[in-house]
Every structure is written in structure tokens, then in C-alpha cells.
Structure 1
Amino acid sequence: MQGLLNWLVRQWQLFCLALSFFSRIPVPKSTPYSSELFNQSSRYLSLVGLLLGILQGLVLLATAQLLPFSIAVLMALLTGLVLTGAFHEDGLADTADGLGGGLNLERKLEIMKDSRIGTYGLVTLLSVFLLKWQSLVALETQAAWALVLVAGLSRATAISLIFVLPYQQLDAVSKTKPIATSLQKRTLVWIWLFVLPLLSVLPWPLALSLLATLLLCFALLFFYYRSQLQGYTGDLLGAAQQLTELSLYLIWLMLWRQQ
């Protein structure tokens, strides 16, 4: 019994650690930290995503009672930015600037380390944000559920890239950005265990389409990142989450409109 209690306490601490790094939600100050614990806490990233999605969904449902639906969706998306400190969006902007403006590996990483946002980053951020906003507005009654599920699925896809790509060491001198660099294979099981079963509550054509989209996004991101940087960085994982999120919204909308 004591062993089970100790295990539960440790898992709670790992969840709090993941929550503290990937969101602005307060956690107990007594939460222990080490690089090893941080790597282990990555198993809960998809669960953190689901929690963030639930909070966004609640904001959407609440504000939709008082404001036009398009404004309610915008409030939900802004809530996500506040909760995460635009963590993944920052990675998307840096990736767009680096891969769009760099001609070689060293130059791409140098641009990505720059805290200033460039033209590629700004255009990409605005485009992705506007597409997400309008996709959720068009999803109407499906929007709240989409916020929850996609928040978990997109983060699971992004962190899964760690298992097939090497860590780009030059990222160690870039802007401070927490990133797992050594994950055990069983961590991958944990990551997907929190989100894949949720697909079962969706109509099977939609569930299969979302699953196929996840696999396609994963494959395309893997080959593109390997060709561009021969590995992954924290910025690339953030971009992967954002692009997968947008892709899932668009596919969900396409299937929903055909019903």
C-alpha cells in the first residue's frame, strides 16, 4: 500500500512539473526538479494539453452565452495564449523565421536564436491563428470538443518526434526553452494513452480521418525537419504542435460540413 502511495505521489509531482513548464498554471512550490525528472514528466504533456483544452472549452461555452460566437471563440484562443504564455506560438514563429530565412544549418539556428520576430514568423503566426479562429467558428457546436481533443492530440504528435529524430545540440545555446532530450519508450505509451481512447467517442469516419491526419503530419514533419536541421529543437516541436493543431481543425471541419 505504501508503495502505491509513493508511486501516486511521484506521478502527481511529474504531472505538476510538466504543467509548470508547459503552462503558466501555478503548481506547488515543493515540486521537485531535475533534468531526469523533467524528461520523465514529458509523459504527461498530452494530459496537460487536454487540461488546457478543457479550460479553453469552458471559456468558449461560458462566453458564448453572452457574446457572439466568433468573439467567444477568439476569447477561448486568447485564453490558450495566456495559459501557455504563447509557448508553442513562439516556437512556430522562430521556426518560420529560421527555416524561411536561413540558407544553411548554422544560419537557420542563428536566426531561430534571435528573440526578434521577422517577416516569415509574423506572417506565419497571423495565418495560423486566423485559420484556427475561423475553423473553430465554422465548427459551431463541435468547437468546444475540438478544442479539448486537438489540444491533447497535437501535443502528443509533437513530442513523439523526439523518438525518431536526434536532438540538435546547437539549440543548447538558444533562448531558454524547456525540452526533453532523453525519453524512454514506455513514455510514448503514456503520452498516447491519455488521448487516443478519446477518439472512440467520435463518429468512426471522423476518428479515422483525424488519426490519418496525425500520421501524415508526423511523417511530413519528420522528413522536413530531418532535411532542414537533421534533428529537432524546442522551436521545431512548438511549430509541430501548432501545425498539427491547425491540420486537425481543418480536417474536422471538412468532415463535419459533409454530414
Structure 2
Amino acid sequence: MQAIRGLVTAFRTLTILPLPGRDTDRFCTALYWFPAAGLFLGSVQTYCAFAVAMSGWYEFSGLAMIVSGVLLTRGLHADGLADLADGFWGGKTKEAALRIMKDPSVGSFGALALILITLLKWVAVIKLVELQYYTPLVSGVLLARWSQVLLASTMPYARSEGGTAQTFVTGAGVPHLLVTTIASISMLWVILYANPELVVVALSAAFASAVCIGYLSYRKIGGVTGDVLGAASELCEASVWISCVLFSL
């Protein structure tokens, strides 16, 4: 029963889908379902990109991929990236960074981060669509959610007063990371069966981006927050897509 409730919580948190049922009592249980949610999101987004690409207008195909992702997630992770950029580059101390990250307004660093990540992802999607490599697009979104589990399972929560993401981070550990890693690799093998070498490329890019964000976050605020997890997701998608483009050239 808790497993099904974890599925409900995962999809309610990561998507706009109002799944029926009760949320899990321990939100860390939802982490087991994050890769599945990523697979769903990636599949829908990639279908939108593919449908538009049929017209031959690849620039709008890239836009469809990105906009559909924002709509399906309510811009949750993009908001996290903006908050992280404002806090990490605008706050000189841990306390200042956390205070800025909690501010709902977007500053100059956050705006620049959103513009740059959107342009980077847009360019990568256009190139993958031109190459007719749609499976790496799905893989990037899937691994972006796995990267959240990686950080939540290996790092402490940074806010002493608690916060929204604390319920996910508290109780997360090796079992969550192990199960989601096995599940993610299994799904990648199915998705990328025609190009198995891309499994290694995608996983390496996802792991590297997550480690970089985790290291930066630990140095700056001593752990993770919901904004850090959201930012990791955004950067992971871009890293996987760019890496797959470079490998395929």
C-alpha cells in the first residue's frame, strides 16, 4: 500500500497529474518512483517534439520539448534553478544564501540562469531532432529525476528550520539510491537499445552534473534543499542532451 501511495506522491510532486489516492506517510518512499515519473515526462515531451518536427520546423520542435516540460511540471525545477543561482551567487554566507533562495522573487542571477539553460537545452534538442535521435531526449528527463534521488539519498538537508523537500530527504538512503539506479539503468537499456553506448554517455553526464551540483551545494550551504534538487534536474537534462549530441557527431 505504501508503495502505491509513494507512486501517487511522486507524480503529484513532479507532474501536474492529480492522481487519485492518498499520499504516502513517508515521502522518501516516493523517491523510488522518481525515475518512472521521469520516463513519463520524457515520453510526453519527446512526443510533442516529434509531432512538431514532422513539419520540418526543428526550432519549434525544440521549443515544444521545453515548453511542454515546463507545463507538465509547473516550472518546478526551473524555479529551483533560478533560486539556486540567486542564492549561491548573491549570498556571501550560508544564512544569506538560504534566505535569498527562499525569496519568491527572481533576481538577475536567476534570470540569467534560466535564459542560459533554456538556450542550451533548446540548441541540444534541435540538434538531436535533426539527427532523429529522440531516445536521448527521453533519457535526459528520466536521469534528471534520478539525479534528484542521488542527491537526496547522499546529502543532508541544509535548512535547520525544515522545508518542503525535507520530507523527501529525511529517511532517504542507500536503498532508495540502489533501487532507482537499477531501475534507471534498466529503462535506459530498453530506451537506448539501438545505441547501447549512449547508456554509458548519458549515465556519465548525469552523474557528473549531479556531483558538481552536490559539491557546490555542500560547500555553499552544507547540504541540499528543494531548490538544489530542482536545479540538479535542469542541469542534468542539459548535460545528458549535450553529451549525446557531442557523442553522435
Matched, 1:84 2:84: no
Distance in 1, Cα, partners of 2:186 & 2:96: 42
Equivalent pair of 2:65/2:125 in contact (CA under 8 Å): no
What is the aligned residue count?
A: 244
The structure with the larger Rg is 1
Consecutive aligned runs of 4 or more in structure 1 exceeding 6 Å deviation? none
**Cα gap change, 1:215 to 1:155, in 2 (>3 Å):** same
Distance in 2, Cα, partners of 1:213 & 1:42: 21
Matched, 1:168 2:162: no
One of 202, 211, 215 as aligned partner of 1:210: 202
Instruction: Tell me the residue number matched to 2:246.
Output: 254
Matched, 1:237 2:203: no
User: Per-residue deviation at 1:130?
Assistant: 0.8
Code of the residue aligned with 1:138 in structure 2: it is K
Structure 2 unpaired stretches of 5+: none
When the two chains are superposed, the root-mean-square deviation of aligned CA atoms in Å is 2.0
Distance in 1, Cα, partners of 2:162 & 2:142: 27
Instruction: Tell me the residue number matched to 1:117.
Output: 106
User: Per-residue deviation at 1:142?
Assistant: 4.0
TM-score by length of 2: 0.90
Distance in 2, Cα, partners of 1:11 & 1:109: 33
Matched, 1:59 2:51: no
Distance in 2, Cα, partners of 1:91 & 1:203: 32
Structure 2 counterpart SS, 1:169? coil
The Cα offsets for residues 154-176 of structure 1, whole Å up to 9 and x where unpaired, read as 21012211222111124635xx5
Instruction: Tell me the residue number matched to 1:50.
Output: 39
One of 72, 82, 86 as aligned partner of 1:97: 86
Distance in 2, Cα, partners of 1:18 & 1:192: 16
Structure 2 counterpart SS, 1:207? helix
**Cα gap change, 1:77 to 1:171, in 2 (>3 Å):** farther
